[in-house]
Amino acid sequence: MIGVGVSMLLIATLILVLVRRLQVQTQETPKYRFRKRDKVLFYGRKIMRKVSQSTSSLVDTTISNTSRPRMKKKLKMLNIAKKILRIKKELPILQLKEPPPSVLEADLTEFDVANSHLPSEVLYMLKNVRVLGHFEKPLFLELCKHMIFQQFQQGEYVFRPGQPDTSIYVVQDGKLELFLTQQDGKETLVKEVFPGDSVHSLLSILDVITGHQRPYRTVSARAGEDSTVLRLPVEAFSAVFEKYPESLVRVVQIIMVRLQRVTFLALHNYLGLTNELFSHVSDGPCPGDLPMGVVHLGQCPNPCPTTETGGWHPAGEGTEKARTPRAKSLCLQGGDPGAAGMDQSLWQCPPLSLQSVSQEPKERRSVTVEEQPPGTYHYNYCEDDSAGGACPFGPYQGRQTSAIFEAAKRELVKLMKIEDPSLLNNRVLLHHAKAGTVIARQGDQDVSLHFVLWGCLHVYQRMIDKAEDVCLFLTQPGEMVGQLAVLTGEPLIFTIKANRDCTFLKISKSDFYEIMREQPSVVLSVAHTVAARMSPFVRQMDFAIDWMAVEAGRALYRQGDKSDCTYIVLNGRLRSVIQKGNGKKELVGEYGRGDLIGVVEALTRQPRATTVHAVRDTELAKLPEGTLNNIKRRYPQVVTRLIHLLSQKILGNLQQLCGPFTGRGFGGEELTNPASNLSTVAVLPVCDDVPMAAFTLELEHALNAIGPTLLLTSDIIRARLGASALDSIQEYRLSGWLAQQEDIHRIVLYQTDCTLTPWTVRCIRQADCILIVGLGDQEPTLGKLEQMLENTAVRALKQLILLHREDGPSPSRTVEWLNMRSWCSGHLHIKCPRRVFSRRSPNKLREMYMKVFEKDADRHSDFSRLARVLTGNSIALVLGGGGARGCSHIGVIKAMEEAGIPIDLIGGTSIGSFIGALYAEERSAVRTKQRAREWAKSMNSVFETVLDLTYPITSMFSGSAFNTSINKVFQDKQIEDLWLPYFNVTTDITASAMRVHKDGSLWRYVRASMTLSGYLPPLCDPKDGNLLMDGGYINNLPADIARNMGAKTVVAIDVGSQDETDLCNYGDSLSGWWLLWKRLNPWAQKVKVPDMAEIQSRLAYVSCVRQLEVVKSSSYCEYIRPPIDRFKTMDFGKFDEIYDVGYQHGKVVFSGWCRGDIIEKMVKDRRLADFYESKRMDVLTCPSAGFTDLAEIVSRIEPAKSYLSDGEESDYLTEYEEEGLDPAREEEELLAPAEWIHTEVFETKLWPLLPGEGVSWA
């Protein structure tokens, strides 16, 4: 048999040689012609068309039953003809589309003054007054009447120290320069102001509004060139505020919000400044003396009158002199490290003391607190002398407590300038805090006003990058703390603690809003106490640091511009794009809330390296270069912080991260992961059949396992903010509220309506990423909303989500879904639980998902995978090449499943690409093992291997048998139709480059990735004809590719052969005869010298070995290598043994990971620690937290309404309904909808609504 085969091989070889020689002799100039295969296909299709036409003409549409067998025979003949001619239905190929210009290009038109129908001065003023909020047209026109034009020559001062600080200056043309005067009299340039920009201070505006006008002290401005300036006196706002009191409240609130979000964010979060931002001694007015005969402010130089043990001295004669010196030493030497180093003047504060009251006949009274609804407290003073025990509010007892309480309320009335003292009735709570009590923590949402009566409250702030708190200031008797958070509605930015016993009055946030509703002007006095606490340094920075708004599509700066400032994203999203020398544009990165933009160029004084434009409407804080230099000179410790920020940016660029939305058209040099900082996700349906409500609830449930998530629909918005919330007049209110939701939640989900409503437009405007949701078992279609979307320049990245039923078929025709869309950044297949497709009324849906939200989300579900993709927490599995040793991959995957490690992305090289493709299709280690074992058996067939031998010019085998074996496994599956995102790596020997395949024919690219040189011929890429070889030659363990696709953690399994490194040093020359003698002589010492084949192999894998070392040393990769070195590359007959080795090794490794919390760290959100550090879980402590619009409270916008509707119910029972109703469930059904909304689970896990609000379902 072997002889016959050899003889046939020789005959065939001779024939081929003769044919080649004849071809060379007759070869002339090359002519373009069809290949033989093309000719065969052409004539074959032509024959098939004629056969089909003839059969259709012969057969009538009304065929009788007797003629049907004849038709079957004809069909069989057609199928036989197809097989003979090898005519196959051509599978659709993904059409690679470039992203639309709106994705990578900024709008060419900037702030266009020339083409506007409004005068330039009106446009510039409108742009700059926006910093104070949204003014209606009549209000704005009223302000424009007060504009004053001023001309300045170059070098002429616009204002200088000593002049009143009462105006806003807007540059119409020319340039202004802002200077700070140092202590030595020298002026330092901190800011250049160009046309359209302004010079003003929000704190100065607040001072004028509150009636505490100040002159300029260290700030001056002069014209850098001949300039025209518009001056708007702040007094112009007074007339507006008299007509519209809600505008006054809104402006004050916005000033406070800008102060907290812009100034404090830039100076504290990024420059690390803490107590430099606050004045240690408040500049505000001290309350007047308390009335004689009741209580008055004494002159004790110590605010903390305690004994050495921290207890209180009883009031009485002679105690004042005895305790004052001791108390002073105690306070200065106490356990507070932050306060010890403060100026001694901080301690010169007047505590409340008793004189005449202490001499009255004592009647023992007890004070009890009855707990009322939130924010309402009553005090009942009991006359019973027998009541024992000390007063819980400090050293005062009985009538003394009553007198102190009433006197303190009068002082609070004076401080807050309350016209009607009865407004404080039942709204003030007297508190006594023991030493060491934490009154409020940094990040708390439910805050209150605290007015100190006795003792002092220490205010701390957590240092950046250190687990240490620094003392900012002390709140003395007669001063308030906590008012900034109450006015802004933002979380508290510091911690309030009583280091000594302290007595204070407390007004809850809700009670303060009730007072403000009755008297709006109360916000002025409270806001002034905030401004009085700010240090002079903050006032200077308030002039220099700008707040700016960039509309979607506008460029923040362009490539090549001068770098003169740094930006901080307050909310919104920016995209950075670089233009190469050939004109091609590539995505560099995307930036979300809290990111620092342009810091590298600004600090290195290099031109802008990229163009940055707004993906959606974005708010930023602008920190000019001169301001930064001034801060560095004043506080040198800032330099260390800047070096840290700069190193983070540089290291981030070196890692060259990109994201999961870079499937097509972005290039491979992305430097940041776009999904790592998504804040908002819009969900858009393809058709009305998509179960949007159930889908968004499932996604919210999965996202809640990662971080606090909020789902918003048009009905929820109307229920929470009123029926008019989506009107254009409420633009500011809605934008501010949505911005705060982004601050206090990890992700905000926007569910659009099914039509193009104002809410749908708002969702698209707010979105960082748009999920287009379709049904995978339907015909590929383009939705109406999508068609409308194509007509608008939407810059948010779009992701196609195809939903599949739990018991439905596998995904198919995904390419058609993608090709009919202009551009999608990627796609995902989601297998939904049965409950998602069950039709039920909104009430029934709510009931069912209450039960769902009580349970933890399954981390292995497709919704959890989508949640990890959206938050940048994907876990990737990368499988290396190594022949039969790769069978151990399946064992490790089985161990991963048992350890609870989810797999969101899979890829590999060579045998790793084969195993990875099987798992991406099956998502089951058991089924993957079965199919891989069947294929391994076919690899052991000697007969098929011999038949595939060919003349070894390119390779020893023709590759036909190997192609057939791979094709039998995957059939005509496309990579796009796999359940899991998948990729494999090949080596393109035509272009001498690495190729990463994420779409196309699955079996072909798996075969290409397994093509060993010399054994199999290269595979021709069906797309471009390039020759593809085994990817192991260039990247045998492509963990870096998985990282570039957005994975946070990569589990890399290496099964490659390990080369011998202990080789013989034979000198400068080598004799082959000497080597032959060493090998043949059994008594000679063996030497390790590679032969020619091994040298070629090592040369081929040089790049791969270097890449492997980089992967093993990376921080994102978990490297695993099973002990499979004893197995050879072609040992497919030992499949089960190799599988067991991988399984046992995986169990040992993953059990160690469980003990070391490595798995928990893998599934934990990358931003969770930072998020909770800044928010302090304020959503969990205050689930009903919402945006506090003070103007709404004053103007009484209509109350929230409930929009409830029932639809058709379904008989499709889920596992939650089949369990039956428990008693708690039955009790819930008896509640009214408005009452039901406030159950604990619904508030904390579904839709956190404000008290008394309802919700409806679309």
Distance between CA atoms of 557 and 564, rounded to whole angstroms?
Answer: 11
SS3 376: coil
CA distance 1136 to 1173: 49
Judged by DSSP in three states, 213 sits in coil
Q: Go through 1192-1214 and write b for each residue having 16 or more CB atoms within 10 A of its CB, e for each that does not.
A: bbbbebeebeebeeeeeeeeeeb
Is 343 a residue of the active site?
A: no
Which tokens is 854 given? 């009580």
Element spanning 1043, H or E: helix 1039-1044
| Active-site position among 282, 353, 910, 965 | 910
Can 329 be counted among the known catalytic residues? Answer: no
Please say whether the beta carbons of 669 and 656 come within 8 A. Answer: yes
Classify residue 294 as exposed, middle or buried by CB count within 10 Å of its CB (0-12, 13-18, 19+).
middle
3-state DSSP assignment of residue 553: coil
Q: Is 453 helix (H, G, I), strand (E, B) or coil?
A: strand
Rounded CA-CA distance 263/621 in Å is 8
Tell me which residue has tokens 């330092």.
188
382 beta partners:
366
CB atoms within 10 A of CB 8: 10
Residue whose C-alpha is closest to residue 176's, from 154, 189, 196, 192: 192
From the CB of residue 141, how many other CB atoms can be counted at a distance below 10 Å?
11
Residue 898: how many CB atoms within 10 A of its CB?
14
Angstrom distance (rounded) from CA 569 to CA 679: 12
Nearest residue to 719 via CA among 1233, 1244, 1179, 1241: 1233
Please tell me the distance from the alpha carbon of residue 1148 to that of residue 1155, in angstroms, as a whole number. Answer: 11
* C-alpha dihedral (661, 664, 666, 671), degrees to nearest 10: 40
Cα 838 to chain centroid, rounded: 31
Q: What is the DSSP string of 623-653?
A: EEHHHHHHHHHH-THHHHHHHHHHHHHHHHH
496 close to 459: Cβ distance less than 8 angstroms: yes
CA 1023 – CA 1021 distance, rounded (Å): 5
Quote the CA–CA distance of 111 and 98 in Å, as a whole number: 28
Please state, in angstroms and rounded to a whole number, the distance separating the CA atoms of residues 240 and 138.
10
First to last CA, the chain: 75
Active-site pick, 336, 546, 948, 1030: 1030
**Cβ neighbours of residue 13 closer than 8 Å, sequence gap 6 or more:** 951
Q: Would you name the residues annotated as active-site residues?
A: 910, 1030
